[in-house]
Structure 1
């Protein structure tokens, strides 16, 4: 019996080791290296194989910086290989950080679009794009209870005819979204973008807990094959460092019983969009139209108040002296 027990234990150990090796092989087999960006980034010279860099993008040993913490910057990276996979999941390791405490921006986007290498006003990419955008918006510039907190992660599906409205945070073209505090973290931050059987799901790991937290799920999303993956960022009057550390694309199997043998090549579309939220217009030219009660605005208000009180005091003193002189003259 002792011999049988030992043989059984050894066979079980060999079987478990085989399963572990097979599982690791399957995981690596589904990683699509032609759509993956990991350290070390550089190939021969300054080129990075299968990736293009445009704008202010800077490649270092530890990260790809789309924009630095300076005003009016735009940068992007784009995969040179079109994606011919129907079901996939993209893991993004990123870091957004800067010196700003109350004021910072603008944010970055992860793209799956028909066109690439075109800088523009939508977080560093062109407007009226064709494809999908996952937008990481850090710029809070509106007042009112109707607005969500920032930073904010949202999705937009565009067939080339929709305009992204920065003044309304893309409210009227938003597919879905969630709030996420991913800025100025001391630990790594991640996003997982899964597209499987016409379902788009975005999950985040921004709390340092090494686990995914669902941001949103959108059904009825149709994305054609043959588009390009990319990442872009922009700064305006406000700024941040926007760093991409890695992009890893995994091929997924279909989970539906009925396999669709055709590869969709139509325009991107979605069955449902988030209900538009009302937007309260700020008065044009008003002092507070630029944002909330930030530190510098409070300081300016205090200075203007002090100056106003000083002017009132001087005017009152002059009027008082004139009235006193007039009263004395009446007795002569």
Structure 2
């Protein structure tokens, strides 16, 4: 009788727990804790269980700050357990914010790569990586004309032979992309990366509607198992706070058979966007657009000096012509 009474009392708690899970998780998928990062972050000391951080990363009670709103810094956090799941979905709850109103950058990236903890110049990670990268590019003073505005979300698959081109904002190596105004929001912002049967789908929840909006879908993407998840960020001449609130990894509950062995070759994408035409940075009005700070100041000074010199020379030539014209009448 006592056991029955205890069970009855616990039923409301069990129901509450069940419904709370139903709100956060798709019941058809399975949350894998070994690839998940949620609050509270810290274990013993400054360690984060199952995750390693590098660079300027700062762990707080409410978020993990990859970079603060300061120039020329990098930070990253990497899961230290390789992923052996074929079909998965990764949800990243993030916040990008800073004091810049019209100028800010650079952005952050979500990685699924063969190597980890290798800092570099591609949003804080190394170039010519092997794996998948999802770039959330906020660099407002972007290089060259493109047919999109920033912030911008795009995907790149690399077998180690491709280099990310900062001058083109990666548009010559991207699979697909979309505009996403996720910066300086006063509510939670999320991005979801779903990989299922060689199809890569990226969605976002940045409008405070608690629903996913598709960014892009790419078919024919081959990703091997055994790679690592990570998130990195970087600032340059422009800066922002890049905060990660949570990373949740779901193994998809699908009807796929596992008779075939998992793919173990190099990452491959069968379809990519056509390279976009762009104006040479060294021509036209984009020259000034690509300069900033002291460089732009000196360019403006040189232009003013040049205009003044041309004006003086023109005035002297005009005076000489006037004098020669008067001499003809004497």
Name the CA shift for 1:186/1:20 in 2 (closer, same or farther; >3 Å): closer
Whether the 8 Å contact between 2:144 and 2:168 is mirrored in structure 1 is no
Deviation at 1:279, TM superposition (A): 1.6
1:273 equivalent to 2:262? Answer: no
**Superposed, which structure 2 residues align to 1:118-267 within 5 Å?**
118-139=118-139, 140-144=141-145, 146-256=146-256, 259-267=258-266
Whether the 8 Å contact between 2:30 and 2:253 is mirrored in structure 1 is no
**Superposed, which structure 2 residues align to 1:253-332 within 5 Å?**
253-256=253-256, 259-283=258-282, 288-289=286-287, 291=289
Partner of 1:102: 102
CA distance in 2, matches of 1:305, 1:266: 55
Deviation at 1:198, TM superposition (A): 1.1
Whether the 8 Å contact between 1:197 and 1:254 is mirrored in structure 2 is no
Name the CA shift for 1:195/1:291 in 2 (closer, same or farther; >3 Å): same
SS at match of 2:125: coil
SS at match of 2:122: coil
User: What stretches of structure 1 move > 6 A for 4+ residues in a row?
Assistant: 17-26, 292-319
Q: Across the two proteins, how many residue pairs are aligned to each other?
A: 315
SS at match of 1:242: strand
Gaps in structure 1 of 5+ consecutive residues:
1-16, 320-332
CA distance in 1, matches of 2:14, 2:71: 54
CA distance in 2, matches of 1:290, 1:233: 27
Structure 1 range deviating more: 260-269 or 96-105: 260-269
1:113 equivalent to 2:113? Answer: yes
Deviation at 1:266, TM superposition (A): 0.8
CA distance in 1, matches of 2:310, 2:287: 28
CA distance in 1, matches of 2:129, 2:303: 47
Partner of 2:326: none
CA distance in 2, matches of 1:156, 1:54: 23
Whether the 8 Å contact between 1:142 and 1:290 is mirrored in structure 2 is no
CA distance in 2, matches of 1:192, 1:174: 18
CA distance in 2, matches of 1:25, 1:261: 33
TM-score, structure 1 length as denominator? 0.81
Give the RMSD, CA atoms, in angstroms.
Answer: 3.6
CA distance in 2, matches of 1:41, 1:19: 27
